[in-house]
A and B are shown apart, each in its own frame.
Chain A
């Protein structure tokens, strides 16, 4: 199903920089970042701790605004949108998978997956959520709460939730960082499978080189700048 028509460039950054004020002066986290990401591409953002990977992910996904430069996401310039506008865009076009899963503890697995569909006012949310959970192999865990699930299971629910609205772009922040190697690699399989099935653009932040290798393209950050952009 192709919900997103022919936008060639789905994400672009032009001279993006981010400074934060500290007690003494301002700290530059990102500086002069520019690149385009095409629809359907899978991109890994890699770098050591503190290189600015997560900050960049937050900016690209419209969770935060850059201090300098412009970012386009799914045809809209994030700089021109207010927080609610960006939320609307995220709700319609963006899926997230986090290192710490970020499931709502008070909702069951099924309800967590239904959530973005309900927020978007999509009909038949429950049926769709059920199918997605079946797809990630959790058909027997529908009514379990996050606390009752293992880490790997929680991340599967998170992945099912991320794909629920058939996002144009999926952002993943260290998706296996909290999981053991075996579980982690299974989660990765699932992530790439679903990504291929839905033709989603995948932007992945990781310091796991092996995981990065599986992506079509790697943007390497160092000290807040793009050190390499390799395919």
Chain B
């Protein structure tokens, strides 16, 4: 009796056999496409993971430079020492600084300043920047003012008519003005600190004897340490905070930077997901071809006695080996690629980048395995079903894998990856939902389109008929290719669309000559003089807006406190005093979305226009009556319009704009913003001398920060797009390869029967151009759908139909896929028919 199947050590035998098959398949070139796609996927994801990981950490560290730490706690009194103990125990450094408004004196001049008292260790993150003379070249320093010294903001000097080296008085102390302060972490960008800043030594506070009970002092505690420790401490601290405490982390610390970071993160993760999805499609196509090319071998193996489990035992290790090899190569390549990326971007990135972590490598590898499992497993599992009878009847193929298995596994894999990448369930669901809906819809649509094009059949020549027949004859293959190409085009369109729109949103927010200075506290009787001052110097300022501080008290007679609970986050803005203004014309970048702006005749009537977002949060509608209280009285006004406002335009923006005249009874000051080129900064001193009461806020630094981040994001986005493109080409390549065997055979037959090369080539061109056009049509629809969902749900931007897509994508598809198909099938006509037929 022959040795039984289960005797001996079949496992080792099978493993050896699997290894040998893998090696042979590799040598025969069977695995190259699959491996290539896998490597692209892993390289792309690893590189993107590395890149985004390090960039995100770099961006965060830039934000922490602004904040002066990873976490900033502001408190009206000294905090319980146990809080600081807990921070130390958790591995965090901390430093305490004091912020208080005070008056400095020099000779006859008095000036309100924002003082900050710092001690050794400050700043925990970022550096102080100083200059030797007002508006001079700035440079970083790593020390702080000694006792008896003060560093001051440049605009203080003309106000006090002093210079570097002179003295000023703070409380009972005389301090020597040592340096010009140009940037201080943990305070520089704070719009509320309108007074000029001065920096003193912590020890001088008690000597100056200026802090009394009731003084408005803010204790600031900056914390810094490992990310996890910061997170843990934040969680610990959160529940103990009183309403008077304010805790900021790097994300919330600076609203503009925080929003840019959020968008950048969302964008980069979206782009990397698209690259992964495309690589997945390429892998699915590669795996399908791999599987189909192994039908014969499997049938022979079945014939020779291999059971279904043995077939799996032979092919699954191959997949595993492939995953390991492709994963490792991809991770190494990804690691190298990200270095190149950072090298190219070195001018724009912070000089000290966080070192590459292990996580991205793991992420890339895991992604490779997941994509392989999700997209390659179903076709390979199909091998199990190859009938042994195929050795006699070659046309017998295994039943196609059940749809739910293929798509289920792939979707599960994608969902897992998306969730792992974005950490956002809503982003995952919206992209996945959009993709799933699009796939179903597009698949059906592709079939319909394919049917429709059959009408072309009678009107075309033999070459075209051959090409078009190729499409109709294998509807499933055609549909999957249309979907594959369509998905690629869709991804590219989506990337381009979202990127163009997001960036143009950013760019319009930040034009080159965006206002870089705010001026507040222009007195009413100085308005005209101020205007002429600006005009004389050719400074283009925004409108001068009057500013009245008031509080929203009632809506339709109902007290706000009854309408909203005190900790209702929706109404954060109305718990504070609001900056109220009036205007006879709508600010340029505001848009009315409901109601209408007042006409000249309506002046005097108490009307108010409300920012749309606030109106929604408060439940305010057109026609509602809002009552505002001021120190000395109150006013009611009817809501006649709702406006959108560009908060990050660096222009004066208001929640509430009144019709002219309404606020006349209340004292107002005026504010505006303007652009001043760097080399004309000297004008500021002149301005302060002529209008001593005004406060100038220099936004350049904040804007520089924002602009730098945006530039980095733009570049990052473009690099990510390269990977998406690479993955797209992998799909194209895999799809061409998938049908190449059959084409070679048919081409050889047709040529044997007398078809000319030209006819064959025309046929291929027709087929692929039509395929590309159909794919482009589908891509336009898909991109439109997903973009709509993304804009509405994720980015919260307005959306309009992109008609250009519908013209451009089919054309692009026809050109791109037509050319690629023409090129990819050249072997079909170049090889001698005899060679092809003999090789079968």
Contact = CB atoms under 8 A, between A and B. Distances in A.
A104 B21 CA distance: 10
B303 interface: yes
- Shortest 4 CB-CB distances between A and B: which pairs? A91-B305, A106-B24, A121-B8, A84-B307
11 contacts: A54-B392, A54-B393, A58-B393, A63-B389, A84-B307, A87-B310, A92-B1, A98-B391, A102-B303, A119-B304, A121-B6
B352 interface: no
B588 to A, nearest CB: 71
A119 B392 contact: no
Contacts of A80: none
Nearest to A108: B24
Interface string A79-98: 00001101111111110101
B305 A98 contact: no
Contacts of B391: 63, 96, 98, 102
Interface in A153-206: 161, 165-167, 173
A119 B310 contact: yes
A94 B391 CA distance: 14
A100 B303 CA distance: 14
Contacts of A123: 8
Contacts of B9: 121
B687 interface: no
B24 A107 contact: yes
Interface string B276-307: 00000000000000000000110111111111
Interface string A17-59: 0000000000000000000000000000000000000100110
Contact of A88 (B8, B28, B296, B305): B305
B20 interface: yes
Residue picked from B2, B10, B28, B307, most chain A C-beta under 10 Å? B2
A3 B1 CA distance: 4
Nearest to B310: A119
Interface string B524-545: 0000000000000000000000
Contacts of A94: 305
Contact of A87 (B7, B14, B302, B393): B302
B1 A102 contact: no
Contact of A63 (B5, B20, B28, B387): B387
Q: Give chain B's interface secondary structure class.
A: helix
Interface in B208-247: none
A227 interface: no
Contacts of A5: 1
Given A93-B2, A96-B391, 20 more contacts: A3-B1, A58-B393, A62-B388, A63-B387, A64-B388, A84-B308, A87-B305, A87-B308, A88-B307, A89-B305, A90-B305, A90-B388, A92-B4, A104-B300, A115-B17, A120-B305, A121-B4, A121-B5, A123-B8, A165-B2
A83 B306 contact: no
Interface string A112-133: 0001101111110000000000
**Interface bracket on B:** 35 or more
Nearest to A92: B2
B306 A119 contact: yes
B8 A122 contact: yes
Contact of A90 (B14, B304, B308, B310): B304
Given A64-B387, A107-B24, A121 B7 contact: yes
**Interface bracket on A:** 35 or more
A5 B308 CA distance: 29
Interface in B120-139: none
B474 interface: no
A94 B302 CA distance: 12
B10 A63 contact: no
Interface string B374-394: 000000000000011101110
Given A91-B306, A107-B24, A173-B392, A119 B5 contact: yes
A104 B2 contact: no
B309 interface: yes
Given A88-B307, A116-B305, A63 B392 contact: yes
A121 B10 CA distance: 5
Residue picked from B6, B7, B305, most chain A C-beta under 10 Å? B305
Contacts of A3: 1-2
A16 to B, nearest CB: 15
A63 B304 contact: no
A166 B5 contact: no
Contacts of B1: 3-5, 92
Interface in B1-51: 1-10, 13-14, 16-17, 20-21, 24-25, 27-28, 30
Contact of B392 (A58, A92, A166): A58
B389 to A, nearest CB: 4
Residue picked from A96, A104, A120, A165, most chain B C-beta under 10 Å? A120
Contacts of A166: 2
A61 B304 CA distance: 11
Contacts of A86: 388
B307 A96 contact: no
A120 B2 contact: yes
A40 B2 CA distance: 17
Contact of B20 (A58, A111, A119): A111
Contact of A119 (B301, B389, B393): B301
A120 B5 contact: yes
A137 interface: no
Contacts of A90: 303-305, 388
A57 B392 contact: yes
A130 to B, nearest CB: 16
Nearest to B6: A121
A104 B25 CA distance: 11
B308 A83 contact: yes
A122 B307 contact: no
Given A63-B389, A122-B3, A165-B2, A87 B297 contact: no
Contact of B17 (A4, A63, A89, A118): A118
Contact of A102 (B2, B6, B296): B296
Contacts of B13: 118-119, 121
A111 B17 CA distance: 9
A63 B306 contact: no
Given A4-B1, A96-B391, A106-B297, A91 B7 contact: no
A52 B244 CA distance: 93
B33 to A, nearest CB: 16
B25 A63 contact: no
A93 B5 CA distance: 11
Residue picked from B14, B300, B309, most chain A C-beta under 10 Å? B300
A102 B2 CA distance: 23
Nearest to A86: B388
A63 B309 CA distance: 17
A143 B257 CA distance: 66
Contacts of A98: 391-392
A63 B17 CA distance: 23
Interface string B475-497: 00000000000000000000000
A54 B389 CA distance: 10
Nearest to A84: B307
Nearest to A105: B28
Contacts of B308: 83-84, 87
Contacts of B310: 87, 119
Nearest to A117: B3
B550 to A, nearest CB: 83
Given A115-B304, A121-B10, A64 B389 contact: yes
Contacts of B4: 92, 120-121
Contacts of A92: 1-2, 4-5, 305
Contacts of B24: 106-107
A89 B5 CA distance: 9
A86 B303 CA distance: 9
A56 B9 CA distance: 35
Nearest to A106: B24
A35 to B, nearest CB: 20
Nearest to A112: B300
Interface in B400-431: none
